[in-house]
């Protein structure tokens, strides 16, 4: 996880958060342009994320829900004024892109598959996002209208030769996606925290909710391909998760939706 020492002007942060940051070592740990993430190092360590107004509301709600299930960190503060601010406790350990974990790809593949199966068997009553599937399909349509199309997610592109080919599958078969499983929503190696190969929590939960398990399965397999620089672990990941719960036709529907960002 990237950390670059910074010395920001504390006046740009909400007054309620400044006492926590005064005297602490602060590091930029951002991974995208959509949000700034600051690692706050002191006796107890924290992460402070900021983004556009309203952008972190769902993530705050889902992180609280996952924390109640002992699957995520504690939300200490969520503020929304000119920007959104989300303060959480640091999850112990390192994420799954750490060199120690990548050095044992078979073990990593099997562990992340088993963790995902356990997540998907977690009761979801009371989840603050009860229908992620509807939002998911709407996002695919919006991505298509905006001209987004990424044909490089997997080496074989799941067989989609064009944006029209992919959106046709979404429109024809999108109704087959279920809303019956608690999802991470962005199940990739950087979002799974381990402490010496022991699971310590999920992070970055803003895309989660109750939806179709094949969304997480798609991204779990993709992340192994992306981070290990080989697609050799896709089948192993699905085998470790359990083929009894995987429908290849639904994976193809998800792949069609995902090419639209």
Q: Which residues are catalytic?
A: 186
Sheet of 94-95, strand order: 94-95, 192-195, 198-202
| Long-range pairs, 17-21, Cβ under 8 A, ≥24 | 17/48, 17/77, 17/79, 17/85, 17/87, 20/46, 20/87, 21/48
Q: Which H helix or E strand runs over 240?
A: helix 234-241
Structure tokens at 238: 């699905």
Instruction: Give the Cα separation of 191 and 172 in Å (integer).
Output: 32
Do 85 and 55 meet the contact criterion of CB atoms below 8 Å apart?
Answer: no
Instruction: Give the Cα separation of 159 and 149 in Å (integer).
Output: 14
Cα torsion at 203, 216, 238, 160 (round to 10°)? -130
For 255, residues 6+ apart whose C-beta sits below 8 A from its C-beta are: 153, 154, 158, 160, 166, 218
Under DSSP, the state recorded for 42 is S
Do 23 and 42 meet the contact criterion of CB atoms below 8 Å apart?
Answer: yes
Instruction: Give the Cα separation of 200 and 98 in Å (integer).
Output: 14
Cα torsion at 44, 49, 55, 61 (round to 10°)? -10
């Amino acid at each position: 996880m990237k950390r670059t020492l910074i010395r920001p002007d504390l006046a740009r942060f909400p007054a309620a958060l400044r006492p926590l940051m005064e005297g602490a070592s602060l590091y930029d740990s951002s991974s995208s342009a959509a949000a700034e993430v600051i690692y706050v190092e002191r006796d107890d360590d924290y992460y402070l994320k900021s983004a556009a107004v309203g952008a972190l509301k769902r993530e705050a709600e889902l992180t609280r829900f996952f924390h109640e299930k002992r699957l995520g960190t504690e939300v200490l503060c969520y503020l929304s004024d000119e920007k959104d601010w989300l303060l959480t406790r640091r999850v112990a350990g390192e994420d799954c892109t750490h060199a120690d974990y990548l050095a044992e790809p078979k073990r990593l593949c099997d562990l992340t598959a088993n963790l995902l199966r356990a997540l998907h068997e977690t009761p979801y009553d009371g989840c603050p996002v009860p229908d992620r599937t509807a939002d998911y399909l709407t996002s695919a349509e919006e991505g298509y209208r905006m001209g987004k199309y990424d044909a490089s997610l997997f080496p074989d592109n799941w067989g989609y030769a064009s944006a029209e080919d992919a959106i046709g599958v979404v429109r024809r078969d999108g109704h087959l996606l279920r809303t019956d499983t608690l999802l991470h929503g962005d199940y990739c190696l950087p979002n799974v925290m381990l402490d010496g190969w022991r699971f310590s929590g999920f992070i970055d939960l803003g895309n989660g909710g109750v939806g179709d398990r094949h969304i997480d399965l798609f991204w779990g397999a993709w992340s192994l391909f992306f981070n290990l620089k080989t697609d050799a672990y896709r089948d192993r990941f699905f085998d470790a998760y359990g083929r009894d719960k995987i429908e290849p036709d639904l994976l193809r529907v998800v792949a069609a939706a995902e090419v639209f960002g």
